[in-house]
Amino acid sequence: MAFPMDTAPSLDTVNQALQALYNNPDVTGKEKASVWLGELQKSVFAWQIADQLLRMNQSLESCYFAAQTMRTKIQYAFHELPADSHQSLRDSLLEHASKIAPGTPPVIVTQLSLALADLALQMATWKSAVLDFIDRFSKDHMGFLLEVLTVLPEEINSRSLRLGANRRKEITEELVAASATIIQLLTHVNLSASGEEERDQRARSKTFKVMGSWFSVGALPQSVLLSTQLMNYPFQSLANVHCPAFLHEAATDCICSALYCSEDLENYLELAHRLFQGVMTLVPAYHQADKDEESDKCLNYCRVFTELSESLFHMLLSTPNEGLGTFQLLDLLLMCVGHHLYEVGEITFNFWYRLSEELYQRNNQELTDAFKPYIQNLVLALCQHCHMDEDHDGVPDESGDFGDFRVRVSELIKDVVFIAGSSSCFVQMFESLKSPKFPSWSVAEAALFVMTAVAKNILPEENDIVPQVVQAILDMPPTTHIAVRYTSIQLLGELSEWIESHAQFLDLILQYLLAGLQQPELASIAANALQSISTQCRDHMTNHFEGLMHIVRSMETFNLSPDAAIGLLKGTATILGRLPPNNITEALSQLCACQITPLDRMLSQDLGPVKQGSQNDPTVWLDRLAAIFRHTNPSVSNGQTHPCQAVILEVWPVLSRACEKYQSDVRIIERCCRCIRFAIRCLGKNSATLLTPLVTQMVGLYQTHQHSCFLYLGSILVDEYGKEAGCVPGLLDMLQVNAFCGPTFKILEEHNGLRNHPDTVDDLFRLCLRFIQRAPVPFLQSAMAKPIMCCAIAACSLDHKDANASVMKFLTDMIKCFREKETRDDFPARRTLVKKLLDDHGQPLVIALVNACLFCLPTFMSADVSEVLYELMIMDRPTFCVWLEHTLKALPTESSGGAVTATKTQLEDFHRACTSAEDLKQMSSAVRDFCRLYR
pLDDT digits (tens, 9 = 90+) for 912-929: 999 999 999 999 999 999
Helix intervals (H) in 796-826: 801-816
Integer angstrom CA distances of residue 887 from 840, 908, 916: 16, 12, 17
Render pLDDT for 821-874 as a digit per residue (tens, 0 to 9): 665 678 889 999 999 999 999 999 999 999 999 999 999 999 999 999 999 999
pLDDT score at 468: 93
Confidence band for 433, pLDDT divided at 50, 70 and 90: confident
Percent of the chain at pLDDT exceeding 70: 98
With bands split at pLDDT 50, 70 and 90, how would you rate the model's confidence at 4? very low
Handedness of CA 925, 928, 934, 935 (dihedral sign): negative
Q: How many of the other CB atoms lie within 10 Å of CB of 934?
A: 20
**Confidence grade of residue 274 (pLDDT, cut at 50, 70, 90):** very high
What percentage of the chain exceeds 90 in pLDDT?
Answer: 83
Start-end of H helices in 796-876: 801-816, 827-855, 862-875
Q: Which of 855-861's residues contact partners 24+ apart within 8 Å by CB, and which partners?
A: 855/797, 855/934, 856/797, 856/798, 856/799, 857/797, 857/799, 857/804, 858/799, 859/928, 859/931, 859/935, 861/799, 861/801, 861/804, 861/805
pLDDT at 822: 62
Please determine, for residue 439, whether its predicted confidence score (pLDDT) is greater than 80.
Answer: no
Model pLDDT, residue 613 = 77
Closest CA to 417 of 403, 427, 404: 427
Query: What pLDDT is stored for residue 253 in this prediction?
Result: 98
Q: Is the pLDDT of residue 462 over 70?
A: yes
Residue 639 scores a pLDDT above 80: no
d(CA 926, CA 932): 10
Give the model confidence (pLDDT) of 396-422 as tens digits.
988 889 999 999 999 999 999 999 999
Give the residue with greater pLDDT, 57 vs 803: 803
Q: Average of pLDDT values for 55-67?
A: 88
* pLDDT tier for residue 341 given thresholds of 50, 70 and 90: very high
Sign of the dihedral defined by the CA atoms of residues 250, 253, 259, 260, in that order:
negative
The residue with greater pLDDT, 159 or 438, is 159
688-734, pLDDT tens digit by residue? 899 999 999 999 999 999 999 999 999 999 999 999 999 999 999 99
Q: Is 106 exposed, middle or buried (0-12, 13-18, 19+ CB in 10 A)?
A: exposed
Average pLDDT over residues 518-527: 94
pLDDT given at position 129:
95
**CA distance readout (Å), 204 to 107, 146, 872:** 20, 10, 58
| pLDDT given at position 26 | 84
Q: Which of 434-438, 588-592, 822-826 has the lowest mean pLDDT?
A: 434-438
Cβ atoms of 457 and 422 within 8 Å: the answer is: yes
Distance separating the N- and C-terminal Cα atoms of the chain: 38
- Rounded to whole angstroms, the Cα distance separating 238 from 253 reads 11
Per-residue pLDDT at 666 exceeds 80: yes
In terms of phi and psi (left: phi > 0; alpha: psi -120 to 50; beta: otherwise), the region of 139 is: alpha
| Predicted local distance difference test score (pLDDT) of residue 615 | 77
pLDDT, tens digit, for every residue of 727-769?
999 999 999 988 999 999 999 999 999 999 999 999 999 999 9
| Cα gap 630→191, rounded to integer Å | 71
Q: How far is CA 33 from the centre of its chain?
A: 35
Please report the pLDDT score of residue 59 as a whole number: 86
Mean per-residue pLDDT, 257-277: 96
The pLDDT of 435-439, averaged and rounded, is: 61
Label residue 8 by pLDDT band (50, 70, 90). confident
What is the model's pTM?
Answer: 0.89
Whether 205 has a pLDDT exceeding 90, the answer reads yes
- Residue 868's nearest CA partner among 935, 800, 803, 914 is 914
